[in-house]
């Protein structure tokens, strides 16, 4: 698979190369291992844009470090080896990661790898044409992406948005299309749910991809794909959308094999 192809994500008029100033606008959400900060990037001529800065918390914070870096206090970290199967690591690093909680080195390494992994997966999804936030740039402990929402409010998670029956139908169609595009790109989101989808102005936006895996490097990819399809499929079915989970999964399997 080549990643040097021209980008063909959902069109975005991002003013690359234009001078700007960044203005922090506070914490947006505090998640399990990362926090989302809001940032206003004021471009010299094209005006302000809102960005979401996803930052992963340090794993072994020193005294006051979390506060100094602007994080809130809660910590909890994922250790699911299943997602890491395809990661391209040196032997020492792989051993350290597999040792999980037992080694500080493994912990620190994992802390750096998750944001890198998510950045890579977000870029690949965007390049493939999936409706995800536009990946703007990597930062020390995370990355910047376009903010989904406006000056007044952030886009609600699908789970919290109030959709009409027609909007639900459209959201499910968009979901199936996003699954097709991701699958064709060789990727499985692996944590797909109504909590990792945003709803904004009639568009379904896929977020939160650190645990995404590849068919070619992860032997659990098909199982994870089935779980994704079932998770979101059942969510839509409970809300009255006509959904055929096994049919859609079968279609994805053939897309994965045949493109
Ligand atoms: N680009 C974005 N635009 C607007 N809101 C966003 C964006 N990215 C994330 N969010 C908000 O921040 C929340 C947490 O983001 P994300 O799911 O990526 O992180 P997480 O660490 O997995 O958090 P959680 O444990 O809550 O799932 C999202 O549910 C969403 O409400
Ligand atoms: Mg999430």
DSSP string, the chain: --S-SPP-SS-----TT--EEEEEEEEEEE-SSEEEEEEEEEETTTEEEEEEEEEEPPSS--TTHHHHTT--S-------HHHHTT----HHHHHHHHTGGG-HHHHHHHHHHHHHHHHHHHHHHHHHT-----EEEEETTEEEEE-SB-SS-BPPBGGGS---HHHHHHHHHHHHHHHHHHHHTTEE-SS-STTSEEEETTEEEE---TT-EETTT-TTHHHHHHHHHHHHHHHHHHTT----HHHHHHHHHHHHHH-
pLDDT value of position 96: 75
Dist. CA 70 → ligand 1 center (Å): 17
Domains along the chain with CATH numbers: 20-146 (3.30.200.20), 158-258 (1.10.510.10)
Q: Which two tokens stand for residue 168?
A: 């639900």
Mind listing the pLDDT tens digit of every residue in the chain (259 residues)?
333 333 445 567 788 889 999 999 999 999 878 999 999 999 999 999 999 999 998 877 777 888 888 888 665 556 666 677 777 777 777 777 677 656 777 767 777 788 999 999 999 999 999 999 999 999 999 999 999 999 999 999 999 999 999 999 999 999 999 999 999 999 999 999 999 999 999 999 999 999 999 999 999 999 999 999 999 999 999 999 999 999 999 999 999 999 8
pLDDT value of position 79: 60
208 is catalytic: yes
pLDDT value of position 90: 73
Q: Is the CB of 147 under 6 A from ligand 1?
A: yes
pLDDT value of position 65: 84
Q: Which ligand approaches the C-alpha of residue 199 most closely?
A: 1
Q: Which two tokens stand for residue 124?
A: 């690949």
pLDDT value of position 74: 60
In sequence order, what are the residues at sequence separation of 6 or more whose Cβ sits closer than 8 angstroms to the Cβ of residue 235? Answer: 158, 159, 193, 194
pLDDT value of position 83: 73
Q: In ligand 1, which atom is closest to the CA atom of 148?
A: 3
Q: How far is CA 183 from CA 84, 94, 125, 142, in A?
A: 18, 26, 10, 25
Q: Which ligand approaches the C-alpha of residue 35 most closely?
A: 1
Integer Cα distance of 100 and 94 in angstroms: 10
Q: In ligand 1, which atom is closest to the CA atom of 195?
A: 29
> Closest by alpha carbon to 54, among 150, 149, 138, 153?
138
Q: Name 39's bridge partners.
A: 24, 51
Dist. CA 208 → ligand 2 center (Å): 5
Q: Is the CB of 49 under 6 A from ligand 1?
A: no
Q: Is the CB of 155 under 6 A from ligand 1?
A: yes
Dist. CA 208 → ligand 1 center (Å): 6
């Amino acid at each position: 698979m080549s990643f040097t192809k021209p980008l063909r994500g959902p069109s975005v008029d991002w003013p690359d190369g234009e001078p700007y100033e960044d203005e922090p606008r506070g914490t947006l959400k505090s998640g399990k291992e990362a926090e989302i900060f809001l940032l206003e990037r004021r471009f010299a001529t094209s005006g302000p844009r809102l960005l979401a800065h996803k930052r992963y918390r340090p794993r072994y914070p020193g005294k006051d470090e979390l506060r100094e870096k602007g994080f809130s206090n809660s910590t909890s970290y994922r250790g699911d080896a299943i997602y890491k199967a395809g990661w391209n690591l040196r032997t020492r690093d792989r051993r350290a990661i597999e040792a999980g909680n037992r080694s500080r080195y493994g912990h620190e390494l994992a802390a750096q790898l998750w944001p890198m992994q998510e950045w890579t997966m977000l870029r690949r999804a965007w390049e493939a044409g999936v409706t995800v936030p536009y990946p703007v740039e990597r930062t020390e402990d995370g990355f910047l992406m376009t903010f989904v929402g406006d000056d007044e409010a952030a886009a609600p998670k699908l789970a919290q948005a109030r959709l009409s029956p027609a909007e639900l139908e459209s959201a499910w169609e968009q979901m199936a299309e996003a699954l097709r595009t991701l699958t064709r790109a060789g990727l499985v989101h692996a944590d797909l749910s109504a909590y990792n989808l945003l709803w904004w102005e009639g568009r379904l936006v896929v977020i939160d991809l650190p645990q995404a895996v590849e068919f070619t490097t992860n032997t659990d990819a098909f199982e994870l794909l089935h779980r994704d399809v079932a998770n979101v499929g059942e969510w839509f079915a409970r809300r009255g959308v006509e959904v055929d989970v096994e049919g859609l999964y079968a279609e994805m399997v053939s897309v994965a094999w045949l493109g």
